[in-house]
Amino acid sequence: MTEDAADEADGAPERVRHLMALLAPGTPIRDGLERILHGHNGALIVLGDSPAVRQVSSGGFDIDVQLTPQALRELSKMDGGLILSSDHERILAAAVHFVPDGSLPTMETGTRHRTADRVSQQTGVPVVVASASMSTLAVFLDGDRHRIEEPETLLSRANQALNTLNSYRARLVDRAAQLTVVEVHDVATVDDVAAVAQRIEMTRRIDAEVRGYVSALGVEGRLVGLQRDELFAGVDEQSRLLVEDYRPEGIDPWKFSLAGLHRLSWEDLGNLTLVAQTMGLDPRTYPATMVLHARGHRQLSTIGELPPRAAQTIVDHFGSLQALYASSTSELSGLSGVGLQRARSIRAALERIFEGDDKTPGLH
């Protein structure tokens, strides 16, 4: 998978992912489309009704019947296209001729595909085309054509994307481990923090592509979805903890975040200074080599059954990972929500971290 492909997947709107799920194997619409292709017919189906759709519609029959694969197949034999209800539960009209604005730009050459593209552009409603001559399916939305591929092709690409996700997760684990090492020595820099944020965003982008395949595979994507869930587990939490550990004092939470990283190109994402700046660390105030002091959120997250409120109490009391490490069991046990047993668990976890036995809090 290329970086451009991952960037495209990351930038794909949620609407496209939802649309592919609607047309995935096992859904009534997809079953109907498969029947149309197997019958060597073509079809143009507008996936929703609105005044704008009716404005470009001419003739046809208002039928308002339940959408079934069989109904799609039989009604597609009529000259013209179909209009579905916006909830995609009913076929509202059949044998409709569509007359969109002919000045709308399109790269399509076939009559049916050209019409579908322009109808979608003019109405904002997705339009599906089944091509009898090429035995292909495509959906048009907002001026873009999205091919609806066979499950075997999608599954092959999904497996490739899973392998890439596994690789990116491994790199994230390594970066997080490196950050823990420098945290232990209290020499973590802006670049060290930005490097983990960079890997989190890269992993998220690949995950977005995998989720797209899971949606498009429908009932065939269950196993891919399970593998994706396992590989992505803990990444969002790692992002939250990183922000909590390193948000500078006095900076509002909404001003220090990884959320803006999705707007960076793959090339810009490789620039750690730009990553840090996008997070909220202005290089004029926070140069790349400036040392930042971790608060200890990531390390406390490794301790089982430690409530978030108790973890926050501990961080608020000590203020830094170094001060936390220097604390005694009795000092910890005296804090609200901790107690002696948890204090001992915290001390044991901190010893493992500072001795180098546990370098990747939250990711394994």
Residue found under tokens 């960079």: 198
Of 340, 347, 350, nearest in space to 299 by CA: 350
Query: Which residue from 70, 72, 121, 119 is spatially nearest to 94, judged by alpha carbons?
Result: 72
CA dist., res. 233 & res. 172, Å (int): 12
Question: DSSP labels for 154-201?
Answer: HHHHHHHHHHHHHHHHHHHHHHHHHHHHHHHTT--BHHHHHHHHHHHH
Instruction: Please give the pLDDT value at position 321.
Output: 93
Report the distance separating Cα 191 and Cα 194, nearest Å.
Answer: 5
**What pTM was computed for the model?**
0.79
Could you give the residue range(s) of every CATH 3.40.1700.10 domain in the chain? 3-148
The stretch 263-289 carries a mean pLDDT of 96
- pLDDT for position 222: 92
Q: What is the pLDDT of residues 16-73, one digit of tens each?
A: 888 999 999 999 999 999 999 999 999 999 999 999 999 999 999 999 999 999 999 9
Q: What is the rounded radius of gyration, in angstroms, for the C-alpha atoms of the chain?
A: 27
DSSP for residue 114: H
Which residues lie across from 74 on neighbouring strands? none
Q: Which CATH fold would you assign to the domain 150-293?
A: Ferritin (1.20.1260)
Give tens-digit pLDDT for 152-176: 999 999 999 999 999 999 999 999 9
Distances (CA, A) of 175 to 33, 95, 130, 172, 283: 46, 59, 47, 5, 21
**Domain covering 3-148: architecture:** 3-Layer(aba) Sandwich (3.40)
| Strand intervals (E) in the chain | 43-46, 57-58, 61-66, 81-84, 90-98, 127-131, 136-141, 144-148
With a pLDDT cut of 90, the percent of the chain lying above it is: 78
Q: What are the pLDDT digits (tens) for 99-142?
A: 999 999 999 999 999 999 999 999 999 999 999 888 899 999 98
User: What residue spans in the chain does CATH classification 1.20.1260.110 cover?
Assistant: 150-293
Q: Which CATH class is domain 295-363?
A: mainly alpha
**Distance of alpha carbon 268 from alpha carbon 247, whole angstroms:** 22
Name the strand (E) or helix (H) holding 224: helix 222-232
